[in-house]
Each structure stands twice: as C-alpha cells, then as structure tokens.
Structure 1
Amino acid sequence: MRTSSRKNGVVASFEPSEILNDELLERLRVRAAVHDRENTFPDDDLADLKDAGYLAILVPEELGGSGLGLAEASVLQQRLAGAAPATALAINMHLVWTGVAKVLADRGIDALRFVQEGAVAGEVFAFGISEAGNDLVLFGSGTDAAPLPDGGYSFTGTKIFTSLAPVWTQLGLHGLDTSSQDAPQMVYAFVPRSEVRAGRVVVRDDWDTLGMRGTQSRTTELHDAVAPADRVVRRLAPGPNPDPLVFGIFSVFEILLASVYTGIARRALDLAVGTAGRRTSKRTGKAYSQDPDIRWRIAGMALAYDALPPQIEALARDVDDLADHGARWFSLLAGLKHRAVTAAKQIVDEAVLVAGGSSYFQGNELSRLYRDVLAGLFHPSDPESAHSTVATAWLGPIED
C-alpha cells in the first residue's frame, strides 16, 4: 500500500513495506508467540528494527532519521502490530518521545533535540509517566521532584507500566516539585540508565500478565534518581495545561496507541477471513465463507475496522500540519483512542467466534490477540476519562 507523505510542504510517496518488509514482519510474528509463551522481551525484534532505522522514523532527515510524519508512523505501527502486538506497543513508547520531539520542533521548540539525536545513535527512550492511582496522569504526579543546586532534579517515587524496561537507555518521566519558590511545579525530565547501575533506579522483575507480555512493562522505583540539568525539559503548573509539551505527549500517545490496536484489529479480521475460507460446513458442504451468518459477522467486523484508519490518518495529519482545534483537541484525541481500542476488542471477539473452538487453544494466534487487545482499555485515556473529557467538551464542566 503506497500512501503520501508530506515533507516541507511537498507531497512525496511513502511505501510502508520499504521500512517493514514482509520477511521482517514474518520473523517478528513467529517470535511473538515465543515471547508471549516465555514472558520475555523481544531483543531480536529490537535489533532488527534498529537495523531498519525504525527508532528514528520520526527524526528529520537532516539529523539522520527518515523524516516521516505522525501519519506515516501510524501506518507503520499498524503494520507492525499486525505481526507482533507487544513489540509494537513497546516501541510505541520510544516513538512517543521522538514524536513529541517532532511536535515541538515543528512549532519552533528545540527542547528535545537530544531525543532526536539519541534515537539516531541507537538510544532507546522509555515512557515513565504512569503511576498507580494517579488519575491526573499528565496534570499531577505522586513522584517527588527535588531541585538540585546545579539545575538538575532528583526523583523519588514509583512508576508503573514502564515498557522497554530491560533495554531503555533514557527514561522520560515527570514529578512534582513542591519545594522551589514557585512551587508546585510539574517537572519533565530524562533519567539515564546509569542511575540503574547506581542503584537509584530499581526495575522490578514483576511483569507477568494476561497479554502484551513481550513489552516487559515493569514497575520502576526511583530513589533520588538524578536527571541532569540539560535533561530537564519543562517545568509547568499542575493541572490542565495548553503547553506544547503536554499537547505533544497527549496527541502522539493517543494516536500511536490507536494505531497499535487498529493493527491488531486488522490482523484479527484477516485471520477470520482466512479461516472462513478454509473451514467447510458438514451440513452444507460449502466453505463457511458462504454461510450467511458468518458473512454477516465478518461484514460487521469490516464495517467497524474500515472506520478506524481514516480517522487516525486525519487526526495525525492535523498534528503534522499544525491544525488548530483549540479546546477540542483533547476530546478528539481521547475519542480516537477510545473508539480504536473498543472497536478492536469487538473485532477480535468476533474473529474468535468465526474461527470456532480452535481459537481457544493457547497456540492459536487469535488466542494471543484476544489477550493482547485487552490491554488497550487500561491505557490513558481509559473509558471513564474519555467520556468525561468528551462530555466536558460538549456540555461544559460539571457545575459546583
């Protein structure tokens, strides 16, 4: 599938298979079952993706990257997730930071240039935002951020769902500064892997989950973990904030998450179609693809799936093109992610029914997709948050 890519205002041709070819994807698909079964991180997948330049797809060409936009990265993530969902979700967290760097750079802010240069050099950036019980997400934190005399910060707290835990080289995180003169302030910074070796970052080996096992999204303890001054990228007032960094994180995170689960949905649909063509009814002697009930079920899956890629592309291009949706941005982004993950779960559910009892066996790919797709409901914005955000956009805030 060849699509268009816009660079410097010029529309150029973009072929996803030139970056993620079928041979590479098949290798990743075979490994995905192994990593799911053994609960291990896909190191070989990461090595292959590094060799393909995948970690730098959102980095400008002049810095050594592919120069793609968010819309093109979304297509690639859908393709990757169709082969290895956990690998795609893990890499997503690295791409979030390179995507945020692009969003800022496109708006004249060079604060994350080191992320772009690091991605080209092979650094792996992890996303250390999630905290147990913190429904404020970007607008608050239970992690303490203590200022240091040289302008750096030390962080103490616990982060959860830290994907890429065994391999990250830089952990992008946030914490709350309550001791500076202008406190409270949310602090966004990056902590290097050397803090693990120093014992100030402890990565628990506690990732043993229902699905998405290959992400190895382990709990991360911070014990005065130091982010140097040149890696402190933003200090912001807590609460809802229109700052470009907050917008960048939310927009890239939601769009790329929607992409991963849309990729899972497409794979489930393809597997259902293939199964329907191979299974034969003892009653009629015909393939199940000729059964009216099966055809109706697959049509429903396709109707749900077909709505997703155009929505993702449209909103991703709006981010790339600096469109201004004003206060509606957050409801549009939360709604996109919510629709994608709920539709993907529905599509996988239907695919399992089309495939029949064989999909109940652990070795069946649909069995893994059935478990992997569930993780989508737990990522921000969760269903409650998405509905609250959209209700506020349409009805205004709840009155005191």
Structure 2
Amino acid sequence: MICYTKIHSGSSVNRAQWRAENPARRQEFCPEAAKLSPTEVKSVTLGPWFFGQTAVDWQAYAMADDLADRFAQTAAEYDRTGTFPFAHFEALRERGYLALTVPREYGGLGAGVHALVFAQERLAQGDGSTALAVGWHLYVIGKQAASRTWPEDVRRRLFGEVVTEGALLNACASEPETGSPSRGGLPRTTARRLPDGSWVLRGRKNFTTLAPILRYFLVSATLEGTEEAAWFLVPRESPGLRIAETWDSLGMRATGSHDLWLEEVHVPAGALLESAQDRSGARTEGWLLHVPAVYLGIAQAARDFAVKYAVERRTVNPPGHPEPASRLADRPHVQRLIGEMDLALLPARHLLMGLARQWDEHPEWRAQMVSAVAACKPFVVETALGVVDRAMRIAGGASLSRSLPLERFYRDVRAGLHNPPMEDVVLNTLARAAIARAEAGDEEGPATRTPP
C-alpha cells in the first residue's frame, strides 16, 4: 500500500499512481502518517498529510489534486494569450468544485475556511489564475453561508444553481475612481429607486474577476440621495449590462478581470440583497484567507520546479575539478537557496493553515483573530515573492525564458501585492492597535491571555 505522505513532493506520475491504487483513501487522513517514527518524520516535508484532518478537508483536496495536474498542462497557453480558461471551469463544474463552500443543507460539500485554503493552495500549484478566480466565487458563497444575510429564498435559489448548474457569482466592488473597497468610501456606482420599488443602476466597476463566465454580478452601489450603499444581484442578461474586455495584465492574465459597465440597468426591488454595511454580527473575515492560499501554492510550485531542475541539470565544472560535470543541486549556493525556500515556506504554511483551522473550530475567538487573519496575506505574499525569486536564481538566466514556468510564477505572485487586504491598511491597523494597548497600560496585549 502506498502512503501519499511519502510521495507528495514527487512527480505527477506518482500522484496519479497513488490516486489509481488508493481510490477509497484519497478522501481521508493517511493513517500511516501517524505511525512514522521520529526519524522518518524528520525526512518528510510537512505536506497535506500534516494539515488534512477531516473528511471534508480530504474531499476538497482530492478535487484540487485531480484538477491541478490537468490545469498545469494548459496554464502557460492561457497566460500567453490572456484568454479565459473556459475549459478549466467546465472541469471545475464537472468535479463539483464550484459548490465547495455551499453548505451541505443546500447540496454542497460544506467546506469551511480550512478545507477551502487546503484545496486552494493545491489548485494554485497547477494554475494560479484559475485558483484565484474561482477563489472569489467560493469566497462569496462561503461568506454568505456564514452570515445568512440574503433572503432565504434567494440564497436557496442561487446555491441550488451553483450545485446543479455550476452557476458562478462574484462581488463587483472595485472602481477606477475609488480603488479597493477595503480603503472605505462610498461607491460611485449609483442605484436610483423608482416609484414601483425597482432600481436603476448606473456606474462602472473594474477588476471584475470571472467577468467572461459569471451568471450573477453582486454590485455595490450608493443609494441615490443617501449616504448608504447596498449590494444588488444583477443577472448577466440584464439589458444595459456590458463587459469591456480591458484585462491585459502583467500577471494573473487568465482571470478575466475585465471592466463591468452598468448603463441604466433596471432590476426588481428584490435585487437589493443587503446593506453594504454588514449588520449581521457574523464574522466572515476568515474567508479572505483564500487569497494567501493561492500565492502560497504558486510559491510551492516554483520551489518544486526549481528543486527538480537543480537535480536534473548538469553543469560543467571549472578546471581542476575531479568531475567534468556535476548536478546543479550539488553546488553549495544552490543548496543554500533550496534550504532558504523551505525555511520560508514552513512558517507561512503553518500560519495560514493554523489560522484557518482555529477560525473554523473556535467561533468565539473570531473577533480577536481579525487582525491576525488580515496580517496573514501580506506575510504569505512577501514569503511567496522571496521563494519565487530564489527559485529563479537557482535556474539562472533560463528562468526568464517562457519555456520554463518560473517567469509566469514570478509575474503571477506579484499580483498578490494588490489583492485585499492591502498591506498599508494592515500595518496601520496593527500599529494603531499596539499603540492603543500601550496607551491603556495593556503592554502585554491579548496574546498572553486566553481568548474569551
């Protein structure tokens, strides 16, 4: 019997062999991992066997594992052309991945935050663009599963369409004039109420990820004549809704993050789903951990490729060396770079997976975890940037060639700097909290106390 623990860092052939020989076990924790001796444990990279703990974790991971190897074969072509990977999303639909975060009561897998990030990191190893794009759909579904702020009939209908038809939806909040919604401020997009209670939307959104394939757009708009904003559900076929294909970016080129134009779009009264000011009291910030999961996955893919490249690449030795050529992996500076990559990935993965697990298991801690959850993204992204940079140094000038995936990893991972939460906002929040504690005489801070 093959234990997945021992072959995770191997080739896709090994993973395929494991899946073929152990079909019933890929959705459960590998029991052999718990039986490893201390010596054996030290020689095994902390991978899925360490972090997957529930049946849902492994169901989600199994889907991502199946799909990631397939997507890796076509990711470079979609990146080169900048076209949307419709075939990837058809595969995601067929596999049931689009319903990952739909609650079980509505027919989905019912994945929590941990199962989501566990799967998303693996999917991103195959194609970062696809993982980031589908992550925003899963994020919207997961947030709603946690907060239950939409009318029940709307929620049941939308979740049902996701499960049975693979419908996709995403929030459309970013605007050219206001930038990221995480910085606050009212949307420039407006909603004008008509006498019959229906609404007319007008405005422009950018960074509308999944624009080529969305069935529903969740649009934030300021209610005309007020200082209030709300979320509206806008079907794709609505007259006046237009997609401008503006997405031609340095990285994440296949996310389809085009501009959305709303030109006198008429929607019924029931299209107003909720206020943009969440008053439910539910803590949903943990679902944003899907963002750092993607960039950690890209970094892991870069690390894995660089190590394999170093093992297989032979270089000519200088005169006087006992061997005419040797492996790149045998050179001390390359070994140092490999060690630095693994040293960086270890704490980043523990932080991400640990926060996700605690978010799921301890709802009573969530209010105290918000700052740590926000800080996770810039920490993981900075780690990922460093890992990819080191991977490129291992390959040298060849890393700039489009014949290798490293240059794509290099470009994709930099997109993380511009995904929410924004680093400057996180740092300011952490600083203000630290200063407030010091001013209050609470120098030890909450870290030394048991959460309520």
TM-score (norm 1): 0.87
Q: Larger relative contact order (C-alpha < 8 A, sep ≥ 6)?
A: 1
Aligned to 1:298: 338
In the alignment of these two chains, the number of paired residues is: 380
Q: Deviations over 1:42-73 (max 9, x none)?
A: 00000001000000011122322112212111
- Identical-pair percentage: 30
Is 2:126 aligned against 1:83? yes
Aligned to 2:292: 258
Aligned to 2:102: 59
Is 2:210 aligned against 1:167? no
Residue type of the alignment partner of 2:242: V
Q: Deviations over 1:63-122 (max 9, x none)?
A: 2211221211111111111001111111111111111122214x9995744442231132
Say which SS state the counterpart of residue 189 (structure 1) adopts. Answer: strand
CA distance in 2, matches of 1:353, 1:37: 23
Q: Retained in 1: the 8 A contact 2:241–2:260?
A: yes
Is 2:78 aligned against 1:50? no
Aligned to 1:117: 160
Say which SS state the counterpart of residue 64 (structure 2) adopts. Answer: coil
Aligned pair partner of 2:305 in 271, 278, 291: 271
CA distance in 1, matches of 2:88, 2:180: 33
Residue type of the alignment partner of 1:372: D
Aligned pair partner of 1:390 in 426, 430, 440: 430
Aligned pair partner of 1:131 in 170, 175, 183: 175
CA distance in 2, matches of 1:25, 1:126: 22
How far residue 242 of structure 1 moved from its aligned partner, in angstroms, is 6.4
Distance 1:108 1:362, change over 3 A: closer
CA distance in 1, matches of 2:219, 2:373: 21
Is 2:135 aligned against 1:92? yes
Say which SS state the counterpart of residue 286 (structure 1) adopts. Answer: strand
Q: Deviations over 1:238-267 (max 9, x none)?
A: xxx66447x42x432x20101110110110
Aligned to 2:228: 185
CA distance in 1, matches of 2:306, 2:167: 38
Q: Deviations over 1:118-173 (max 9, x none)?
A: 31132110220112242561543222122344544332221111111111000112
Is 2:60 aligned against 1:20? no
CA distance in 1, matches of 2:160, 2:180: 31
Aligned to 1:156: 202
Distance 1:265 1:160, change over 3 A: same
Distance 1:170 1:109, change over 3 A: closer
Q: Retained in 1: the 8 A contact 2:205–2:259?
A: yes
CA distance in 2, matches of 1:342, 1:21: 25
Q: Retained in 2: the 8 A contact 1:5–1:69?
A: no
Residue type of the alignment partner of 1:134: T
How far residue 337 of structure 1 moved from its aligned partner, in angstroms, is 0.9
Aligned to 1:351: 391
Distance 1:13 1:382, change over 3 A: closer
Distance 1:77 1:371, change over 3 A: same
Residue type of the alignment partner of 1:47: E
In the TM superposition, 1:64-75 aligns within 5 A as: 64-75=107-118
Gap regions ≥5 residues in structure 1: none
CA distance in 1, matches of 2:179, 2:60: 36
Say which SS state the counterpart of residue 219 (structure 1) adopts. Answer: strand
Is 2:263 aligned against 1:201? no
Aligned pair partner of 1:33 in 76, 79, 92: 76
CA distance in 2, matches of 1:4, 1:151: 49
Gap regions ≥5 residues in structure 2: 1-47, 440-452
Distance 1:389 1:178, change over 3 A: farther
CA distance in 2, matches of 1:132, 1:118: 31
Say which SS state the counterpart of residue 220 (structure 2) adopts. Answer: strand
TM-score (norm 2): 0.77
Q: Retained in 2: the 8 A contact 1:103–1:320?
A: no
Aligned pair partner of 2:375 in 335, 338, 349: 335
How far residue 372 of structure 1 moved from its aligned partner, in angstroms, is 0.9
Q: Retained in 2: the 8 A contact 1:58–1:99?
A: yes
How far residue 307 of structure 1 moved from its aligned partner, in angstroms, is 1.4
